[in-house]
Amino acid sequence: MALFDISEAEQAHREAHRAQNWLKCVIQAIPKAILVTDALGFVRHCNPAAEALTHRPASQMTGSQIEKCIPIVSNHTATRSALSFRMALHEPWFGEVEIVNAAEQRLTVQISASPIVDKETGDTSGVVIVFEEAEMAPWQAH
């Protein structure tokens, strides 16, 4: 018969769970639309602002590929390089794009997409994307 003390492992598990929960709460509190993907481009988390912007519930976006959740119609960047969320696995991407939300509305949004890099291993585990509806120019206002 062998006995193992698992109290340290249980404590570490509780602390990791608390840290993960705290981080989710932080993302939920951010007023800008935030989507987090894994390295394959599947949405792992989104906040209420992302739900409001896309008109899609988190339950519908989570587990789906980002391109299906946020269809991009066109880019408005100085470089004219097409946005691929996979590009952001290697380097940050900033620009203005036109997307279609679930209500079939076209929206112009500013996007900032950056890789999530593990500081210890250097591995990229996903992308964090911040969306903000672009300010309308005065001549575009109704």
pLDDT at 118: 92
- Dump pLDDT digits (tens) for 73-92: 887 655 556 666 777 888 88
pLDDT at 139: 41
81 CA to centre of own chain:
20
pLDDT at 137: 45
Stretches in the chain below the pLDDT threshold 70 = 2-5, 76-84, 135-142
- Structural domains present in the chain: 32-135 (3.30.450.20)
Its sign, for the CA torsion 24, 32, 96, 72, is: positive
Rounded to whole angstroms, the Cα distance separating 37 from 66 reads 7
